[in-house]
Copies of this chain bind each other. A is one copy, B any other.
């Protein structure tokens, strides 16, 4: 029996242009991240049994007390506990100086029980703190967010096996892999060039051998650029900016956006939407990620993946 997805692809293959009834296959970040977390849990158990109780260590360093940061951090700590990672939350008050933040990072850098260190951004501080300096003070060996210059340089120049890949682009690649669509030789379009999403996403697609176009706020012909994408990754930070009619028939559409829009039907008065207009895009795309439940949960899973990988590298060095 043909699945709905396969049926939808068949409809496209017969040249049915006005495919109002075709519905893209939904790429579930919830389901995929669960599989990843289960795999990681087994790997952590294996490490613990091979190396007398050894567990990967993760530190989440927070400055201040932003509500959104608190929420993200609690999600990360929960995922870490589930996988078996020993996670520690260091909270510094918003009166902390830059020197104190750097000192705290260096102290974690030197702690051999910690294999991953992330600094929750944005920093919520009453003092002037150089975020770039903070990010680059994290040891590149423990930089499981992949945001330091050294890791960015390695990724951008194609040394993928010798760096930490930022979690959101890594999540996107994993979701693309789930579709079974080969990346090599495809035309990929990335909207956005941020350090956390767009720029490393370009690198990752490029070194997986796609032809990659990066679009941004200065791109004058965004609909035409999007229309050429076999694979589209959107990290623009603008609610539902990519319209369904721009999307190429059968494309893989990955939406990294998390935007709150007013919605009177909800008790909270708002709802979360992505950067892609989902209902229209899903009429044309072959595969699409939902928001919420797409890239978000996979990003957290990729942080766990990087932490476990870092611990494995640490053990490998010990054995040499």
Binding site for B on A (CB under 8 A): 132, 148-159, 184-185, 187, 193, 195, 199, 202-203, 206, 209-216, 218-221, 225
Contacts and interface: CB of A to CB of B under 8 A. Distances in A.
Contacts of A209: 216, 218
Name A's interface SS: mixed
Q: Top 3 A-B pairs ranked by shortest CB distance?
A: A153-B153, A149-B153, A156-B156
Given A152-B153, A199-B156, A214 B216 contact: no
Nearest to A183: B218
B150 A132 contact: no
Contact of A220 (B132, B152, B185): B185
Within the oligomer, what is the number of copies of this chain?
Answer: 2
Most chain B CB within 10 A, of A211, A216, A219, is at A211
A214 B190 CA distance: 12
Given A211-B225, A214-B206, A153 B148 contact: yes
A156 B203 CA distance: 9
Contact of A199 (B149, B157, B213, B221): B157
Most chain B CB within 10 A, of A149, A151, A218, is at A149
Contact of A149 (B150, B211, B215, B219): B150
Contacts of A155: 156
B211 A158 contact: no
